[in-house]
Amino acid sequence: MELYFLGTNAGVPTLQRNVTSIGLRMLDERRALWLFDCGEGTQHQILSSPLKLSKLEKIFITHLHGDHVFGLPGLLSSRAYQGGTTPLTVYGPPGTERMISTTMELSQSRVNYDLNIVEHTGGVLFEDDSFIVEAALLEHRIDSYGYRITEKDRPGSLDPAKLAEYGLKPGPLFGRLKRGEIITLDNGDSLRPEDVLGAPKRGMVITILGDTRPCDNVQPLSINADVLVHEATFMHDLADTAHEYYHSTSKQAAEAARAANVGQLIMTHFSSRYKDEDQLQPLLEEAQSVFPNTRLANEHQLIPVVHRKQES
């Protein structure tokens, strides 16, 4: 899986950064794109990216402030013109359906794909054979949610030496073993998958938070995540301002990452007062003094999701 940041600014776009949107690209069997928030100009940012709207499967909205949703009606309307005809589900807080349906109705916009809108107040939102997505309420001026995406463990690799011991050659039986099925050999013996499979491959855990100041739900959403995406609107010298406007500082983001034992912290949602890379560098240094494996989200940069180091 890979994260792709389409917008990293807070409030309004600037010449250097667009407002919030994050793509999560699955590269293996699923080959799908999930989007987290959709600020103004997101579809234009996608045109300059390797992301494809035709692969877009789900959109998760953290909250209904404009810098996180004003790009949504345009993207939904344009998706079909970019090859998107498969069903699309939008998850968001109460009010998401009214916002989308009102905009589409008044603009007489039409979509030629199944558009499903799921409003939620947290909990398990989605589960299939590969993923679980959970949400929990954060602390912002309006209801804002964080999302925890858990990839389920996958079967281990088939062991060629063990397969050879049983006289098995590549074919349909390999697939059945990988799917966890017990097979019958030519001699009538049963072969269990665990007899020829290596250890299961641990799935990834990614946590993406909406706007928030420090609150209780950050840790359960983030605990032991491989990657935590956390807002860092201000440096810590503006902690009072951050608290007043229900945001977090770079130091607070790092403290959350350290407390939750995450693998990597990616900071985003920067105030417009930090206009360029040089002005963002102090935020990075401040966070790294608390949690060294921290990086800034740079727009139009793919960041591979890697496993955090396990404690021995």
The residues annotated with a catalytic role in the active site are: 67
Output the CA torsion sign for 142, 219, 150, 293: positive
| CA angle 70–11–49, rounded 5-degree value | 60
Cβ atoms of residues 9 and 279 within 8 Å:
no
Burial 46-55 (b: 16+ CB within 10 A, else e): beebebebeb
Please list the residues that pair with 283 across neighbouring strands: none
> What is the rounded CA–CA span in Å between residue 174 and residue 195?
12
| Among 194, 166, 169, residue whose Cα is nearest residue 180 | 194
Q: Which helix (H) or strand (E) holds 49?
A: none
Q: Which helix (H) or strand (E) holds 127?
A: strand 123-127
DSSP secondary structure letters along 266-308 = EEE-B-TTS-SHHHHHHHHHHHHTT-SSEEE--TT-EEE--PP
Strands 294-296 and 302-304: unpaired
Output the CA torsion sign for 156, 160, 165, 169: positive
> What is the rounded CA–CA span in Å between residue 230 and residue 242?
14
Which H, E and C letters describe 230-269, residue by residue?
A: EECCECHHHHHHHHHCCCCEHHHHHHHHHHHCCCEEEEEC
**From residue 135, how far is each of 138, 189, 194 by CA, in Å?**
9, 46, 34
